[in-house]
Amino acid sequence: MIWLRKARLTFHLLRGVLFCATVFPWASARLRERLIRAWSRKLLAICGIEVEVLGLAPGQAAPKGAMLVSNHISWLDIYVIHSWQPVRFVAKSEIRNWPVVGWLCDKTGTIFIERARKRDAHRVLHHITEVMQQGDLVCVFPEGTTTDGSKVLPFHANLMQAPVAGKLPVQPVGLSYLDAATGKPTLAPAYIDDISLVQCLNAILKSPPIKARLVIGPQLHAASAGRRELAESAREVVTHLVEGAHEAAHGAAEAFHSLPVAATPPVLTSVAAPAAGH
């Protein structure tokens, strides 16, 4: 029954608030990661979603000190990624003002961009580079909006300046949502057009069991080219990952690494913030 699952989701959300308020202030980074991963997995289970992670060798650890870039379909994307490896997301500052959810995002390390302030770009880019150099994995959705998952939109290159400046790797991943029984794509999680969060949640809860597939691709080493070339190559790799063309994804990464070294582009004056929803 949907109302019962919504009640469980509400309780789970409140439990997350309690942990963030009482445990996170003194918890170690490792404990916080464990809590975020466990909480995200439980949320997905309540929604009837199982996660399949492909592309890593057995026992291979998640990358550190890199920028994770992914296609963007749903608000669920955040929890699918967190269920594999807790990361620091980059999102528009408006999300900070969302009831409960905005507070949770803030407490779990989200980096917010104030899109209306051009000078905020310098602060954000510097901060992203700094936390990646400290070993954090920072996730952005370079499409800047959500899609139905049937295609990958062009990537905004602005935030790619952070790994370029820090000479840090970019980790492409491909996300897709499938009917768990048939393996065919499902539109239930798609948070697009004029659909509301409640309507999207209802579609997910009414849907048959869903499999969220997260495919980890080959890393791109940003020092070999500029931010625009990096964005184009990252999009190409992500597109191949979503399509299940793993060999093509590796080929695109090899082609990127064969590009001549580009001059360092100037620091940006504005940043297009990734969406966390529409």
- Tens digits of residue pLDDT in 88-131: 999 888 888 877 778 888 888 899 988 767 777 788 899 999 99
Domain residues for the domain of 89 are: 47-257
46 pLDDT exceeds 70? yes
- Indicate which CATH number applies to the domain containing 95: 3.40.1010.10
191 pLDDT exceeds 90? yes
Q: Is residue 270, in this structure, part of any structural domain at all?
A: no
Average pLDDT over residues 221-245: 91
Question: Using one digit for the tens of pLDDT, what is the confidence trace for 141-153?
Answer: 999 999 999 999 9
Joined together, the tokens standing for residue 47 give 């929604």
Mean pLDDT of the residues in the chain: 89
Question: Using one digit for the tens of pLDDT, what is the confidence trace for 197-212?
Answer: 899 999 999 999 999 9
Q: Is residue 14, in this structure, part of any structural domain at all?
A: no
Q: Which of 265, 254, 252 has the alpha carbon at shortest distance from 226? A: 265
Band the pLDDT of 190: cuts 50, 70, 90: very high
Q: Is residue 17, in this structure, part of any structural domain at all?
A: no
pTM: predicted TM-score of the whole model, two decimal places: 0.90
Q: Is residue 27, in this structure, part of any structural domain at all?
A: no
Over pLDDT 70: what percentage of the chain? Answer: 92
Q: Is residue 210, in this structure, part of any structural domain at all?
A: yes
Band the pLDDT of 274: cuts 50, 70, 90: low
Average pLDDT over residues 175-189: 97
Number of folded domains in the chain? 1
Cβ-Cβ contacts under 8 Å for 226 (sequence gap 6 or more): 164, 262, 263, 264, 265
Q: Is residue 8, in this structure, part of any structural domain at all?
A: no
